């Protein structure tokens, strides 16, 4: 019997969220945090990445309404 010399090569897959090596407990993610992030992504329907950047959509308060036809 030839003893196979393969120690179940752990697939070097990476966390789809942060690209870190995945952890067995949180596959296919690296941590509970990323797992939660991914879950929220599905629940929210949109991939929301927490960022410090301000939204470029322009908030309503900043929108200038030209007062036209004011009689």
Residues of the shown chain interacting with Zn ion in the complex, contacts defined by CB under 5 A? 15, 17-18, 20, 30, 34
Our CB check for Zn ion shows the closer of 28 and 61 to be: 28
Query: With contact defined as beta carbons under 8 Å apart, do 29 and 38 qualify?
Result: yes
Label each residue of 14-49 as H, E or C.
ECCCCCCECCHHHCCCCCHHHHHHHHHHHHHCCCCC
CB of 8 to Zn ion, least distance (A): 22
CB of 44 to Zn ion, least distance (A): 18
Our CB check for Zn ion shows the closer of 10 and 18 to be: 18
| Three-state SS at 65 | coil
CB of 35 to Zn ion, least distance (A): 8
């Amino acid at each position: 019997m030839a003893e196979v010399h393969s120690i179940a090569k752990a697939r070097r897959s990476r966390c789809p969220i942060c690209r870190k090596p995945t952890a067995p407990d949180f596959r296919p993610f690296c941590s509970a945090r990323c797992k939660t992030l991914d879950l929220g992504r599905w629940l929210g329907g949109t991939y929301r990445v927490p960022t410090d950047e301000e939204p470029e959509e322009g908030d309503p308060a900043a929108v200038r309404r030209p007062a036209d036809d004011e009689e």
